[in-house]
Amino acid sequence: MSNKELASEIIKFVGGKSNVSNLIHCATRLRFELKEDSIADLERIKALPKVLGVMQAQGTTMVIIGPLVNEVYTEIVEQLDQNQADGQTSASTPQKENGSKKSWFDKLLATISAIFTPYIPILATSGIIKGLIDILAQFDILPATSNTYLILAGAGNALIYFFPILLAFTAAQKFGANPYIGAAIGAALMEPNITGITTTGNVIDFLGIRFTAMNFSSTVIPIILAIWAYSHLDKLLKRFLPKALQFIFVPLLSMVIMVPLTLMVFGPVGGFMANMIANGYELLLHSNDIIFNAIFGALFIYVIMLGVHWVILPLQLSYLAEHGMEYTLGSGGLGNYALLGVCLAVLVISKNKEERGIASSSAFVNFLSGVTEPGLYGVVMKNKKYFISLSLGGLIGGIIFGATGSYITNFAFTGLFGLPAFLSSPTAVTYFISVFVTLAVSFITTILLSKKGFKLRK
């Protein structure tokens, strides 16, 4: 089946073009927001060639495609956009939800996912760039004061430093406002005249109103709150302003009102919320490093599988941006290596040619880029015994990771492509010891389970 045919079938089985409210994708999954979730025929979608699995969770219908997801997404968007003239929904333009009611938690997760998902690949790329130049600097191959280093560092740091601008764009899209005005609000916060006076903790004033300033670089929560408020202001202005005046006055009033409000209100409120969350995160982490990282090692791959990691990932990225290092991005990624160990073991012990083929391709993709869905849905989900190996490998690796005080300094996907980001950490040696142990435990456990009478499913 070609990607074009697959796209057509997926659209049909999610309920047709008119049932698609929004569509985004991450590294391996199509994420549909549907007007009526119950219309989607999940079993028929699951049976399609190239589809590894499908699930409904957190207000989205997720179709797991694997590495080809971007090509399939492009085909689906083209087919949806062709029908805009007929009043159909476009995947590139979020629409208001109607029909089936979703819980507030589902809506929250769907919102966070829609805002952050587009940036995950470039976040990983940034981590690889920063990790690579840090390694070169450590060995005096590329001096940290050289222009080459500074230019490449700028490429690596850009996304994190200017995160408010990018998040403002996707947040405005999600909230149904003009994303370009949203991005302009975010950009204003990073403008040199404003950054020059908004040193965190300083007291400044606007029209004589005094407030405590904060620096918005690398922040997440303040700009999302601000754009949520802007989306309501946008609707209000369009409701009361004549259409002839909206072209000029909606962006004008939005900028004049929202930039000061963000500095005075949403910045401090968002900063307080971020600090509370960060303090809670640190309290949990330092209450027992070993247990905390062991839990992430054993269970975080299941959190990713269910799509709930969008609640945790912004916290991890914020902590990384503020402290320059992070723990659970490292220990949580150990589940990927545990899965790699399971796939390699299945490749060795399975007598089923098809199963060996799936295990082989899944292990290869995981090893290169840390993509786990082929292994999860193609190997582990077909034999529940593999979950024992997967969890035990991540658990033991997480214990070692926590006991040695390991951490990472750059975000990247696991696997060969992300290697520079992890090698740049001062605790790279102990991190890779935990990786090796995770692989070994999951590999050996899978073989032992098969030899103790646990027959592999054919």
Higher pLDDT, 118 or 301: 301
Residues 293 and 427 in one domain: yes
Of the residues 234, 263, 285, the one at which a domain ends: 285
Task: Identify how many contiguous H helices and E strands the chain contains and give both numbers.
Answer: 21, 6
Among residues 162, 172, 55, 70, the alpha carbon closest in space to that of 111 is found at: 172
Token pair, residue 31, equals 């994420």
Q: What is the pLDDT of residue 378?
A: 79
Strands (E), 268-396: none
Q: Is residue 111 assigned to a domain?
A: no
Last residue of some domain: 243, 264, 285?
Answer: 285
Residue 340 lies in a domain: yes
Looking at the fold, whether 246 and 343 belong to one and the same domain comes out as no
Which has the higher per-residue pLDDT, 278 or 11?
11
Rounded Cα gap, residues 370 and 362, in angstroms: 10
Per-residue model confidence (pLDDT) at position 147? 93
Q: How far apart are CA 316 and CA 325, in angstroms?
A: 10
Query: Is residue 151, in this structure, part of any structural domain at all?
Result: no
Query: What pLDDT sits at residue 116?
Result: 81
The pLDDT of residue 97 is: 45
In tens, the pLDDT along 329-373 reads: 999 999 999 999 999 999 999 888 888 888 898 898 889 888 887
Average pLDDT of 10-19?
90
Overall domain count for the chain: 3
Domain that holds residue 276: 162-285
> Is 427 found in the same domain as 358?
yes
Q: Tell me, what's the pLDDT at 295?
A: 93
Average pLDDT over residues 298-308: 81
Do both 338 and 439 map to the same domain?
yes
Does residue 186 sit in the same domain as residue 67?
no
* Range with the poorest average pLDDT among 10-24, 84-98, 192-206: 84-98
| Model pLDDT, residue 101 | 61
Q: And the tokens for 381? A: 């989900």
pLDDT tens for 407-450 read 999 888 888 888 888 998 999 999 999 999 999 999 999 999 88
Looking at residue 103, what is its pLDDT? 66
Query: Residue 251 — pLDDT band, cuts 50, 70, 90?
Result: very high
- One domain, residues 235 and 255: yes
The 10 Å Cβ neighbour count of residue 290 is 15
**Of the candidates 1, 13, 20, 123, which has an alpha carbon nearest to the alpha carbon of residue 81?**
20
Q: Can you give the pTM of this predicted structure?
A: 0.75
Angle at 360 between CA 359 and CA 363, to 5 degrees: 80
Q: Tell me the DSSP string of 432-453.
A: HHHHHHHHHHHHHHHHHHHHTT
Q: At 98, is the pLDDT very low, low, confident or very high (cuts 50, 70, 90)? A: very low
Distance CA 435, CA 333 (A): 9
Q: Which pLDDT score is estimated for 442?
A: 96
**Are residues 273 and 300 part of one domain?**
no
pLDDT at res. 439:
96
User: Length of the chain in residues, anyone?
Assistant: 458
Rounded mean pLDDT of the chain? 84
Residue 124 is assigned to a structural domain of this protein: no
446 vs 281, more confident: 446
Same domain, 277 and 323: no
Residue 135 lies in a domain: no
Q: Are residues 215 and 74 in the same domain?
A: no
Answer yes or no: is 398 within a domain.
yes
Report pLDDT for 169: 94
The enclosing domain of 46 has a CATH number of 3.30.1360.60
Q: Which residues contact 361 (CB under 8 A, 6 or more apart)?
A: 374, 378
Do 277 and 292 belong together in one domain? Answer: no
- Write down the pLDDT at residue 99: 45
Q: Does the pLDDT value for residue 38 go beyond 60? A: yes
User: Given this model, what pLDDT does residue 82 score?
Assistant: 55
Q: Are 277 and 299 in the same domain? A: no
pLDDT band at 307 (very low <50, low <70, confident <90, very high): low
Q: Which pLDDT belongs to residue 345?
A: 94
The reply to whether 121 falls in a domain is no
* Predicted local confidence at residue 452, as pLDDT: 54
What pLDDT, on a 0 to 100 scale, did the predictor assign at position 288? 86
On the question of pLDDT at 168 being above 80, the answer is: yes
Is pLDDT of 57 > 80?
no
Whether residue 360 is found in the same domain as residue 432: yes
Which of 67, 85, 102 marks a domain boundary? Answer: 102
Please indicate, yes or no, if residue 145 is contained in any of the structural domains: no
